[in-house]
Structure formats: C-alpha cells, structure tokens
Amino acid sequence: MALVVEAERRLRSHRGGPALVDTITGNQDLETFVDTLVSHGALWGAIEDGRPVAFAIVRDAVVEAVYVAPPARRRGVATLVLTTLLALSDPPLDAYALPGDRATKSLYESIGWKARLLTMRGE
C-alpha cells in the first residue's frame, strides 16, 4: 500500500496528474481503490528481496499506471513488468502517459508501442 501512496503523491505533482489520478481511482480513497484492484486482478507487482518495488494497474486492456520505486529505477524493472503483461493470454493494448512524461513514453516505445491519442481538457 505504501508504494501506491507514494505513486499517487508523485503523480499528483505532474501536469495533468491530478486529473489522471481521479480518472484512474474514480475518486475512491486509496485503500478502497487498491482493494478493488486486487479483487479484480488488476494490480500487478514486482517484488525484490521480499519487498514491493513496482506495480502496474491494468484494466480493460489498458495499462493505467506503471510505477517503480526510485531505488529500483533504471534497472529494467518497468520493462520486465510490461513484457510480462504482454505475454499474458489477454495482454494490454493501450497505456496512459502524461503530457511531457518522456520517461513513460520512452518506456512504452521501447516495447514497440506508439503514441496515438492526446486528450485535451479545459480547466
């Protein structure tokens, strides 16, 4: 749960982050949201030395979020999570990335995906 709280806090600090968090969580509190993800098999994780270091949220064939704890970054963890998801019998087809989030866009491009949609919103 601590990793999800950390990810939510960091995501909210990015341009477009608050709107994406609200879209993904459906405005549920994080504990209820995580319980819902787990009960629906939509939360995937990576464990290293018995500790969670990364997670992905996948619903309706969409990777809604990928998060890797800072100490585990730049070691291929996110790529491993995504390639594992792509090997499933019902793999994700799309993913969300925030505007200007070059690292996430590069991650998705590294597995062969291409940007194809930009959502605009008046606020």
Spatial contact of 78 and 101, defined as CB atoms under 8 Å apart: no
pLDDT the model gives residue 42: 96
Please report the domains of the chain, with CATH numbers, ordered by start residue: 2-110 (3.40.630.30)
Phi-psi region of 19 (alpha: psi -120 to 50; beta: other; left: phi over 0): alpha
Spatial contact of 14 and 101, defined as CB atoms under 8 Å apart: yes
pLDDT the model gives residue 34: 95
d(Cα 97, Cα 67) in Å, to the nearest integer?
12
pLDDT the model gives residue 113: 93
What is the residue-level pLDDT of the chain in tens, covering all 123 positions? Answer: 899 999 999 999 988 889 889 999 998 999 999 999 999 999 999 999 999 999 999 999 999 999 999 999 999 999 999 999 999 999 999 999 888 889 999 999 999 999 888 777 776
pLDDT the model gives residue 39: 96
